[in-house]
Chains A and B, each alone.
Chain A
Amino acid sequence: MAPLRIPRVGIGGPVGSGKTMLIEQIVPILSANGYKVSIISNDVISKEDAERMRQNLATDKGLLPEELVIGVATGGCPHTAVREDPSINLSVVEELELKYDFLDLILIESGGDNITTTFSPALADYFIYIIDVTGGDKYPRKRGLGIENCDLLVINKIDIAPYVGADLKIMERDAKIVRRSKPTVFVNSKTGQGVDAVVSFIITDVLFDTLPKASKNIN
């Protein structure tokens, strides 16, 4: 029998936009709701992000086994690994599906890239693109495939917007124009402000509000 397909969420964004920290905020909330998650972290240069998450989420907080935080080096080609040739990531996903059928969700973090990043639909069912205010409030209107096409746009580091001259109202307005009916969430992933909304979108739009597999087994 073929293994069950586990829903996947791709998270992309420029270097330093806060992808890893967003994941570190998302996972505890999903876990508190009973969902079992695995993380594949594509790192361009090192496995530091994967190891940081493993230490933080697995070793320190015990939210998931260490072997479910997987670092994948991508040969200096972050966009290739999630779009043109996602075969490495697909292999890892398939191995997870075979070995850990209790998982409710797989998060795939791309390496830092530019605003043209997109995820192959063969790899991710849902694409979150994250930018941060330090790039300036021009970013939503600058468009780019990542900003335009993602399922959920996350604008991070809202707490420092005044210090970098970024007007959040302009960003909100432009995001609405560029993305039309597709949602945008403003967050501070350091404190967790706004992250609940991101998780709600995941539970509704990716998991379709289904109960965690673990709770179904109990019942």
Chain B
Amino acid sequence: MMYMNIEIGNEDVSLLQMSDSFFPTGLYATSSGLEALSKIKKLTKKDIFYYISTYIKQVVGPTDCTALGNAYESCMKKDLSTLLNVDESLYSMRLIEETRSASTRSGNQLLKCVSIFVKHKKMLRDYQNAIGNGNATGIYPVSFGVVSWSLGIPKNKAGLILLYGFTVSVVGAALRLGIIQHFDGQKIIHELRPVILKSVLDNIDRPISSMWQFAPGLDILQMKHEAMSSKMFIT
């Protein structure tokens, strides 16, 4: 007798797999500039909350989440040309070389890993070929959009995973920098739920022409991080 449950499916397991920090993309080695800030001032739990919140509202939401949504839509429409345009647009908005490099490396490794177990998805293959030919960069949010589409993860949930993953990477960095302890970290993630949700809803369907970011203070921090001679994280 075959048991059918329409409430959960393979794509839900894929969603869990892609949102798991165990998935190998190297993001554990990023602090998104937090390390540089921690050298300048003594940080509190509240500072970490506001740091991540600002980053999501002013940068990751309106750029990365927008790019992901557009990449996803391009895959649905089998439109490689638009996908490559999204890739180029997002790459050009990554102002700091260290962050550009980290994002493209993670994106490329993500594609390589997923293509081992996802076959027969032409857009995934075509995107990888474009990267190999130098016509795309593989920048992480775009790669994540392509991969999410390939795995049948709904677009808005892919956006959630992206922003949740960013949140966890910075909380993890704060933990390892000794700024917070492990219960604090979980509380911060919990309290960021409405910020994450709103950012996904505001940005996942934003057109690529409206992609924006404005966080000059964070950009300066990333530049300071680049110049640090002693650092634990790659960003």
- Report A's interface with B, CB cutoff 8 A: 44-48, 72-77, 80-81, 84-88, 90-92
Q: Contacting B233 at CB < 8 Å: which of A48, A75, A85, A86?
A: A75
Instruction: Mark contacts of B99-119 with chain A using CB atoms, 8 A cut-off: 1 yes-contact digit, 0 otherwise.
Output: 000000110110001000000
Across chains A and B, the number of contacting residue pairs, with CB separation under 8 Å, is: 62
Q: A44-B232, A47-B230, A48-B230 are in contact. Are A77 and B29 (CB under 8 A)?
A: yes
Q: Which of B18-26, B61-69, B203-211 contacts A (4 or more CB under 8 A)?
A: B18-26
Return chain B residues, CB-CB under 8 Å to A84. Answer: 22, 24
Question: B78 on the interface (CB 8 Å rule)?
Answer: no
A74, B29: Cβ atoms closer than 8 Å = yes
Flag if A81 contacts B108 (CB, 8 Å).
no
Does B222 touch A at the CB level, under 8 Å?
no
Q: A87-B109, A88-B234 are in contact. Are A77 and B229 (CB under 8 A)?
A: no
Contact check, A81 vs B29: say whether CB atoms are below 8 A apart.
yes
CA separation between A76 and B22, bound complex, in Å? Answer: 16
* Distance between B28 CB and nearest chain A CB, rounded to angstroms: 5
Which single member of A46, A75, A90 contacts B234 (CB below 8 Å)? A75
Closest to B233 in A: A75
Contact A87 B232 (CB under 8 A): no
B30 within 8 A of A: yes
Judged by a CB distance under 8 angstroms, whether B182 is at the interface is no
Residues of B within 8 A of A45 (CB): 230, 232
Residues of B within 8 A of A77 (CB): 28-29, 176
Beta-carbon contact of A91 and B26 below 8 Å: yes
State whether A87 touches B24 (Cβ < 8 A): yes
CA distance A86 to B229 in the complex (A): 23
Q: Which of B156-206 contact A (CB under 8 A)?
A: 172-173, 176
Residues of B within 8 A of A85 (CB): 22, 24-26, 28
What separation, in Å, do the CA atoms of A46 and B109 have in the docked complex? 24
CA distance A72 to B30 in the complex (A): 12
- With a cutoff of 8 Å between Cβ atoms, the chain B residues found around residue A88 in the complex are 26, 29, 105, 234
Instruction: Give the most central of B106, B109, B173: most A CB within 10 Å.
Output: B109
Asked if B31 is at the interface (CB within 8 A of a chain A CB), the reply is yes
Given B25, B106, B172, B231, which contacts A73 in the complex, CB threshold below 8 Å?
A: B231
Taking CB atoms, residues of chain A closer than 8 Å to B233 are 73, 75-76
A47–B231 touching, CB < 8 Å: yes
Q: Which A residues are in CB contact (< 8 Å) with B229?
A: 46-47
